[in-house]
Amino acid sequence: MISRFAYFKPHNLNEAVQYLEKEEKSYVLAGGTDLMILLRRNLINAEHILDIKGLPETAEFNFVEGAGLTIGASVVVNQVVDSEVVKAKYPALNQAAASLASYQLRNRATVVGNICNASPGADLPPALLVYDAVVNIAGPQGMRQVPLHEFFTGVKRTVLQRGELVVSVHLPEPGEGDKSIYIRQARLRGHDLATVGVASRIKPDGKVAIGICAVAPTPKRLFALEDQINARELSQETIEWAAKEIREHIRPITDVRSSAQYRLQMASVLLKRGLLTLIGKEA
């Protein structure tokens, strides 16, 4: 039996923020696929559970031509998997979403929850990062926007302060001819956490963006590596060079899923495979 708590499902954002600010041991519930495990294992001492699924702002799942895609905090992963707009405009996000956990869990797990849980191995952040995702946060001082690459501060840690709550994540619209791909390595074909996951994107102007998970304390956007690649012509040689160079930009650890050595090797392979696929060369 999980510990006792009070349950609150507000329908107004201000009410939600006030509640989170007032009650110290309060936790946000969206899909619950991470929170319920923590509760069950008694890893957290929750006295208050705030269910955000009643907040209208969190249900938003909307693509606006010229503005981009907004994914509310109650939008579940399978909504993203099934979305034709996401398939067409944000393929790496579609692929990352489809690779997350199992079908039933994707019916509950939310995109924003995958961010807020801040697991180093989360599948969605690499894809969201390459699209320059921005996190919309509501708090006692009103709304603020944080770029996703500044959102994670450590393993299971984010910039969220007491009383704050993520309302949605926003992805600018990619231009015509934008290409992206997410490739993950796992121990088995069924559902498993990623050993390494790499999102690669080539923008219409030819510039590359790279997001990666499970090789550092947080999911990362590899800006320094991108600059080095973008200073060269994006050829097969550049990609092969980048696949070696990526080892200098990540610091994986050895754990139950993989050795650090294997992660370095896989990061290299997945980046090469991704970029070669995007430029139309067999990997």
Partner 1 sequence: MDNNKDCSMYTEHVESGKRKVTLSLTVNGQFVVRDIDPNMTLLHFLRDNLKLFGTKEACGEGECGACTIIMNGKAVTSCIILAVEAEGAEITTVEGLAMDGKLSILQEEFISQDALQCGFCTPGFLMSTRALLDHNPNPSDEEIIEVLSGNLCRCTGYHPIMQAVKRAADREQKELGR
Residues that bind partner 1 (CB under 8 A): 1-11, 15, 29, 32-33, 36-37, 39-40, 49, 51, 53-54, 58-59, 74, 78, 101-105, 107-108, 190-191
Q: How far is the CB of 67 from partner 1 (least distance, A)?
A: 23
Distance CA 220, CA 7 (A): 34
Q: Give the nearer residue to partner 1 in terms of CB position, either 174 or 197.
A: 197
Q: Give the nearer residue to partner 1 in terms of CB position, either 56 or 147.
A: 56
Of 81, 226, 93, 106, give the one whose Cα is nearest residue 170. 93
Q: How far is the CB of 190 from partner 1 (least distance, A)?
A: 5
- Torsion angle defined by CA atoms of residues 121, 98, 73 and 70, in that order, rounded to the nearest 10 degrees: 110
Distance CA 105, CA 97 (A): 11
Q: How far is the CB of 145 from partner 1 (least distance, A)?
A: 24
Q: How far is the CB of 74 from partner 1 (least distance, A)?
A: 5
Q: How far is the CB of 97 from partner 1 (least distance, A)?
A: 13
Q: E-strand spans in the chain? A: 6-8, 26-29, 48-51, 61-64, 68-72, 134-139, 142-147, 152-154, 157-158, 165-171, 179-185, 196-202, 208-213, 220-221
For 117, the token pair is 């849980």
Distance CA 239, CA 275 (A): 7
Cβ–Cβ under 8 Å, residues 92 and 178 = no
Q: How far is the CB of 261 from partner 1 (least distance, A)?
A: 28
Q: Give the nearer residue to partner 1 in terms of CB position, either 4 or 142.
A: 4
Q: Give the nearer residue to partner 1 in terms of CB position, either 87 or 191.
A: 191
Q: Give the nearer residue to partner 1 in terms of CB position, either 39 or 166.
A: 39
Q: How far is the CB of 31 from partner 1 (least distance, A)?
A: 9
For 210, the token pair is 């790279």
Q: How far is the CB of 268 from partner 1 (least distance, A)?
A: 28
Cβ–Cβ under 8 Å, residues 266 and 196 = yes
Q: Give the nearer residue to partner 1 in terms of CB position, either 33 or 136.
A: 33
Distance CA 281, CA 283 (A): 6
Q: Which residue has the tokens 């050895």?
A: 254
CB atoms within 10 A of CB 3: 11
